Every structure is written in C-alpha cells, then in structure tokens.
Structure 1
Amino acid sequence: MSERPTIEFDHHTPEFGQDAPAKFAELRATCPMGFTEAHDGYWVASTYENARRILSDPENFTVEKSADGLRGGKLIPTAPHAPAIIPGSLDGPAHDRLRKPLRNLFAKRNIEQKVAPIARAAADRLLDELVGKPEFDVAQEFSFRLTVATISEFVGLASGEIGDPEKVVLMLEDAFAIDPEAGGNRDALAARTADKFAEVRELVGQVVRARKAEPRDDLVTAMVDPRTGLTEDEVIDLALSMLLGGVRTTAASMDNIVLYLAEHPDLRRELVEDPAKIPDAVEELTRLAAVTPLVARTAVTDQAFGDVHVKAGDRVAALICSANRDEERFPGAEEVKLGRKDGLHLAFGVGMHYCLGIWLAHMELRVAVEAVLRRIPDYEVVADRVRRYGLVGVNNGFSALPVRPRP
C-alpha cells in the first residue's frame, strides 16, 4: 500500500448514500484509510478500528478549528462563518469545564425522571392530531416536532420567549451550518443567517437573565447557578447548542426506525407483542442508520495507520456509517440482532466527545416507537413518496416520510 492511497469520495454528492453498504464494504476491504481530493483533501477512515482510533484520541486528532477559523472543526468543509457548537467544538480542559455542569442534567436517571414525561406527553399530543388522518408525514409532522417540543421544554426555551421553537431550530441549522440539504455550501448559508442568529441569541440572553431573577425547573436555570462557574455568554451558547443538537439527529433516527419497521413487519410485530424489546431494537437500528454519517478531526501530529502516513494538519474523517457496519466488529452487521453484545457502535461518538445527549436520544426514540406501535401498530409507508435528503453527508434523514395508519 502506498503512503497516500487515493480514492474517489465526496460525501456532499447525491451518489454518496446510494448502495452505501456495498460501497463501504469494498472501501473497508480495499482501502481502510484512503485520501480524497474533494474539499481541499481529507482522509477517510472506513473501518471501525480506524474510525474509533481517530474519535477517541483528542491529543492527536483535534476537533477544534484553526485560530483563523478557516480549517478544522467537526465537518468538512469547514464553515468559518458558523458559530461554534459547544462544548463539542472544544478539546481538553476547555471542553471539560463546560461539560462538567451538564453531566448530571443529562444523566440517564434525570432524563427518565424529568424529561421522559415531557416526551411522552408530546408524542401523545401529536399522535392525537395525526392518527385520525388518512395519511401524515412522520418526518415533518411527528419526529421533528416531537424532538423540538422535548428539547425546548427541557432547556427552558419553549414558552414563546424566543418565538416559535420549530422555526428557531430551522434557523439555527442554517446559522450553525448543519442544514442537512446545504452540502458543501454550508458556510454561505451560515453567513446569510448571521443577523437572525444574533437576534435569537439576544432573546436567549433575556431568558438567561430572567431565570437568574425567577428560577424555573429547566436547564437554563441550572446553568445560571453561580456554582457552575459558567458566564452568561457561555450559558447562552450552551442553551443554543443544546436546542440545536437535540433535534435533527434524533428525529432522523426516529424516521429511519419507522421506515425499517415498516419494511420488516416480523420485527415490528415482535415489538408490538413485547414492547420490552424496543430499547434493544432502538440500539441496533441507531447503529444501522448512523444518521451522522461522517465527522471530522484534524491531525495534530504525524500518525501511521499501517503503511499509510497521515501528516500533522491533515483533515481526517471518521466514516461512522461504514464503521458501524464493519463485520470485523459486528458479525452479521447488516442484521438487526436484539441484545447484540459486540460492543460500542459509533453513532453517538466515543471518548471525551461521546454524545452528551445519548440518554435523551435513547429515551425519545424509545418513547416514540412505543407510542407509534401502540397507536398505529399496522401503519403503511407510502414508499413511492418517501424522500431522503438529496445530500445525506451531514444527516441521513428524510424530507418526506408519508405513512397511512391502518385499522
């Protein structure tokens, strides 16, 4: 193998997600660490071993942007005009200082006690509106709205103080340059949205100051406690980051699960008959969907992957959607095996950047599947009108997922 094996690869093309399992299996077998010239050049780590190594070693592979903001970050290409999503855009002590006050708030026990009732109520409210219709769009009318309702109330931004949370989240996706349809043009979208982002940021600042005066049972109130050591600006930025981060990936996972269960009626029937199996199904289907297909790092030092040599400053992408289907780690990787014991998949990351909201996401997905299978256990997906995002390199989700409830 040469020091710089070259591959044709661009995750911001319509072809990226087509025949993905077969393409990624070939990539893992023939070039587990390959270099593409797309987007100024980056390495693609397609095996579980290589992807996990990159994600779990912040000393040698940093998530941070360069000082001028023109290189680095979690996504390729970099979006210099986008604000940072914290604490995930930081490494080391700066990351740990911001994450520490949030750990207990996002712990499984707190999520189940305080947030699960919010999610269940939102799911029931939405399905009350939808199950009587001959047809509805799960992506637009259920999963997105459920995740927005849950995270906005949990954070403390659901009362109308910042406007319509659903519209705010859509704006934030543009401002933070993670709009799932923007592809490689994300930075231009972030620049155009900067003024609207500044307006919302000021509204969130007003909420933060209001919680100092009149505390409530929400995350903003917890974060403004002086014992956290967080500044007002940090609380604002964390609140916005959590509002943004708590929606699209979970909603996309929800949509992928709804579609998979429609296409695999035996598994759906098994879950209807024994809802206790739903958490295991959620775990496996989250692994398969890998709704964030790829995340990036920048090499801090020269690194060797066998005969392949990555140089300091090179951009490196962990191809999660391939790593999660690596037969070396997950035997029978294309199958859903309830109770699989093959170890940690990478859909929620690994190491210090392991997703802060993992228990929130697991809970919402479980609650959503329980509600859907209880209320419409025999739904039918309108297959010819299902529409995945045209570009799935940032989010493997759906712009349309119509279903028909059946008696």
Structure 2
Amino acid sequence: MTGAAIEFNPYSHAVHDDPYPYYKRLREEDPVHYNKEHGFWLFTKWDDCQAAFKDFKTYSSSNGVALEADQNATSGYPMFINMDPPDHTRIRKLLSGLMVPQRIRRLEDYTRQKAVALLEPHLARGELDLIQDFSAILPMDVISTMIHVPESDQADVRQWADDLIYREDGQFGLNDRNINAYMKIAGYFDELARSLAGRPHDPDDMFSCVLQAERDGKMTHDDVIGFGILLAVAGNETTTKLIGNMGFRLWQHPEQRQRLVDHPERIGDGVEETLRYDGSSQMIGRTAMRDVEVRGRKIKAGDRVGLCIISASRDEERYERAEEYDVFRGARDHMAFGTGIHSCLGAALARLEVRVCFEELLKRIPHYDIDMSRSDRTHNPNVRGFTTLPITFEPVV
C-alpha cells in the first residue's frame, strides 16, 4: 500500500453516498483488504472475485450472503442462495426452469402495461418520485403475479422488505426493525403458502410449481417460505434500486440519456452499463472454508470474505475506460448478477423490467431534472440505491 491506510466502513451512511472512490483506491492499493473493526476481508478486483465465485468449496455461502461476520443463516428460513451443493443444486434445479428467458418474456406485455399505468397519472403534473411512484411499485407488482401476492398486500410486503435491509448509520448486524420485518414477511408467506396449498397444480404458475415440489417431498414448507422471502426481497429491492440508479445516472450524464432517446433500441445496452457501473448489488458475503492465500494475504478458515462485485465490474484491468458511463458499451460480462453456480436466477426478469421501464419513461419524458435536495438513499452495505428520487419535467398533455 502507499500513503495512509484506507479506512473503509461499508456500514457508514457517508460511504453509501459515493463508495466508488474507496473502491478505486482499494483496487489500486489494497485489493485484498482486511477490515479490522468488523473482521472481514474484501476482494475488489475482477480476477479475485471471479475465482471466489467459482470456488464454492473454498468460499462457502452456507453462513449467509450478508457481509456481517458470524451470521447464522441457518437460524432463519432456508434460501438456496445460502446453500452449497448438494442442497443448492437440488433447490436451484427445481427453480431454474421457472425463470428461463422464454418464460420471463411472457411477462413483457404485463410489465409494459403496468409501467404505462404508473407513469400516466403524473405526466400532466410534470413531476413524480421515480422510486415511490414508479420503481418501488412495478417490480413488486410483477413478482406478485408469480407468487400470488394480492395488490392489497403489496405495500405491506414492500415495506417489510425495505425495513429488512435498512441499516442505521454504522449499524453492524441486525436490529429489532430488521428482525421484526423478517418475521412479518416470513409469517406472511407461511400463511400464503398454506392458503394456496389446496389448489390444483398449474405447470405455468411459479408458486404452484413450488407448492407441488413441497407435495412431492422435493422442498420443505420452510423452503417454500424462504423462496417467497427471497423473491420479495432480492427480486424486488435490487430491481427497484437499479431503476433509480439508472434514472440518476442518465440525469447525471444527459448526453448519454440523449443517446438512448435517439436510439431506444439500445436501451438494453444502457441497462447493462448501469448494472456494470452502478448496479444495485454492491457486494456479497462468503465464508472461507480453508486457509487460503490471495495476493500475499493469508485468509484463515472461518474468516468472512466480501466479494465487491460492483468494484470488480469497474476494474481497469478488465474494462477500458472503466470509470466512464457509456450506455452504448453494452458489455454483458459484468459481475452484477454474480457468476458460477450462484449466478442470479432472476437476471432475465430484472433486465426485462428495467429495459421496459426506460423504453416507456424516455418515450414520454425524454428530459427531466432531479431535485437531489429531496432525494434519499437506502442504507445497506450490500444494496445501493435510492428510497426517494423526485424528478421534474415539462408537463405532458
């Protein structure tokens, strides 16, 4: 390392405002960084994160994917992202067929109709909150068509998801707000699964397939509850925040926004660049299962390791002009959805939702401004994005 030691606290609200200078310095000076205060390692380079994702025997998910050390993931409901083979293989095999791109494409028309319905009431006023009025609602609504959450319950489920991931400034570990939200969302999906258990099996219905797997003994009831929690939190929160991040970056870089307005067929490339440059998933935790040495640093069995996937996707040794936001770059080899056996099953759905959102938004609101004084961020070391993002524009009549 050169100069003063790097003080990087991913639990600090100040860091959440702009963590990228920290990541850049870590890549350059201390790519395998040890946080003494909280007792975890952080990988920030592409090659190191890639190798760790692929070596699940050394870097295990079994103690959870949050960064916090000593997290006991087995105390909650089982989720396959917190599993290693063979359990992970068993559950993922059951679910992967439900999230294939051709099945997800069936949701495009519904997603588009919902996006238009959310935008249109605000057009004549010339303002809306991109998060509260739009991106916080759409992903949960789309997911709810897959897991049977009625519209009357969606606001509650969204709020529990928000409360589950929120961290106070400097908060390490879970507090009562997080735990209470977890219990409420778990109780909700317990009741929902039981209420739907008697319905005939429908092979085109995702939740029906999960319930059939429970009846066949391939999943436990707790597995079903964990599946609901995972979709409601991971599938909702990350897409909600990604839409906000893309809206912010296109405002910050108006020349890039104009490129997509002029070439709407390239909006999908803009989604990929936002995933690479400012994706909502910042880092993911692993536990070292054996002693290992990386770049001369000795990691011991039992140590927590954070894979900083958003830093890896800005690695200058991987991408030219890595610190530039270029919506025509179109690179799909970023690490926003992980890689290896734990690559995100919901990637196709997230891509579809964000692409459709901006196809409809930029068609109606090609130019907008953001009032940053009224914006606010969520605060979590793993997930980065906004909770409020008010935008103004010329009224559309």
Q: How far is 1:403 from its partner?
A: 0.5
After superposing on structure 2, the runs of 4+ consecutive aligned residues of structure 1 that deviate more than 6 Å are: none
Alpha carbons 2:269, 2:330 under 8 Å: kept: no
- Describe the SS at the equivalent of 2:174: helix
Aligned to 1:137: 129
| TM alignment of 1:335-354, pairs within 5 A | 335-338=324-327, 340=329, 344-354=333-343
Q: Which runs of 5+ in 2 are unaligned?
A: none
1:386 and 1:171 map into 2 onto residues whose CA distance is: 21
1:405 and 1:368 map into 2 onto residues whose CA distance is: 17
2:78 and 2:128 map into 1 onto residues whose CA distance is: 33
2:28 and 2:15 map into 1 onto residues whose CA distance is: 18
Aligned to 1:207: 195
Instruction: Report the more deviating stretch, 331-340 or 144-153.
Output: 331-340
Amino acid at match of 1:125: A
1:295 and 1:237 map into 2 onto residues whose CA distance is: 18
Alpha carbons 1:16, 1:393 under 8 Å: kept: no
Cα distance change of structure 1 residues 342 and 233 upon mapping to structure 2, 3 Å threshold: closer
The number of residue pairs the alignment matches comes to 389
Q: How far is 1:141 from its partner?
A: 1.0
Q: How far is 1:47 from its partner?
A: 1.1
Aligned to 1:52: 50
| TM alignment of 1:34-45, pairs within 5 A | 34-39=33-38, 41-45=39-43
Amino acid at match of 1:148: M
Aligned to 2:270: 281
Q: Which runs of 5+ in 1 are unaligned?
A: 66-71
Q: How far is 1:261 from its partner?
A: 1.2
Percent identity over paired residues: 30
- Map Cα deviations across residues 77-105 of structure 1 (whole Å, 9 max, x no partner): 45548734611111111011111122122
Aligned to 2:141: 149
Instruction: Please tell me whether residue 241 in structure 1 is matched to residue 236 in structure 2.
Output: no
2:5 and 2:290 map into 1 onto residues whose CA distance is: 21
Instruction: Please tell me whether residue 20 in structure 1 is matched to residue 7 in structure 2.
Output: no
2:330 and 2:353 map into 1 onto residues whose CA distance is: 23
Aligned to 2:76: 83
Q: How far is 1:18 from its partner?
A: 4.8
Pairwise CA RMSD: 2.5
Alpha carbons 1:78, 1:187 under 8 Å: kept: no
- Map Cα deviations across residues 208-238 of structure 1 (whole Å, 9 max, x no partner): 3143x47485311122335683344423331
Cα distance change of structure 1 residues 210 and 381 upon mapping to structure 2, 3 Å threshold: farther
Alpha carbons 2:32, 2:295 under 8 Å: kept: no
1:387 and 1:173 map into 2 onto residues whose CA distance is: 13
- Map Cα deviations across residues 165-224 of structure 1 (whole Å, 9 max, x no partner): 1212321454xx42365742524334334653453133222233143x474853111223
1:273 and 1:85 map into 2 onto residues whose CA distance is: 46
| TM alignment of 1:236-275, pairs within 5 A | 236-275=225-264
Aligned to 1:219: 206
Instruction: Please tell me whether residue 179 in structure 1 is matched to residue 177 in structure 2.
Output: no
Q: How far is 1:293 from its partner?
A: 1.5
Cα distance change of structure 1 residues 383 and 341 upon mapping to structure 2, 3 Å threshold: closer
Q: How far is 1:269 from its partner?
A: 1.7
Alpha carbons 1:74, 1:89 under 8 Å: kept: no
Amino acid at match of 1:24: Y
Alpha carbons 1:262, 1:381 under 8 Å: kept: yes
- Describe the SS at the equivalent of 2:271: helix
Instruction: Report the more deviating stretch, 147-156 or 352-361.
Output: 147-156
- Map Cα deviations across residues 266-312 of structure 1 (whole Å, 9 max, x no partner): 22222112111011111011111131212111100111113111111
Alpha carbons 1:85, 1:241 under 8 Å: kept: no
Amino acid at match of 2:45: T
1:285 and 1:167 map into 2 onto residues whose CA distance is: 29
Alpha carbons 1:55, 1:351 under 8 Å: kept: yes
Instruction: Please tell me whether residue 95 in structure 1 is matched to residue 88 in structure 2.
Output: yes
Cα distance change of structure 1 residues 193 and 270 upon mapping to structure 2, 3 Å threshold: closer
TM-score for both structures, normalised by structure 1: 0.87
1:363 and 1:198 map into 2 onto residues whose CA distance is: 27
Instruction: Report the more deviating stretch, 52-61 or 353-362.
Output: 52-61
Amino acid at match of 1:121: Q
Alpha carbons 1:80, 1:187 under 8 Å: kept: no
Aligned to 1:375: 364
1:359 and 1:6 map into 2 onto residues whose CA distance is: 40
Aligned match of 1:109 in 83, 93, 102? 102
Aligned to 2:66: 74
1:240 and 1:154 map into 2 onto residues whose CA distance is: 13
- Describe the SS at the equivalent of 1:104: helix
| TM alignment of 1:281-320, pairs within 5 A | 281-320=270-309
Instruction: Please tell me whether residue 32 in structure 1 is matched to residue 31 in structure 2.
Output: yes
Q: How far is 1:313 from its partner?
A: 0.8
Q: How far is 1:315 from its partner?
A: 0.8
Q: How far is 1:376 from its partner?
A: 1.3
Aligned to 2:351: 362
- Describe the SS at the equivalent of 2:284: strand
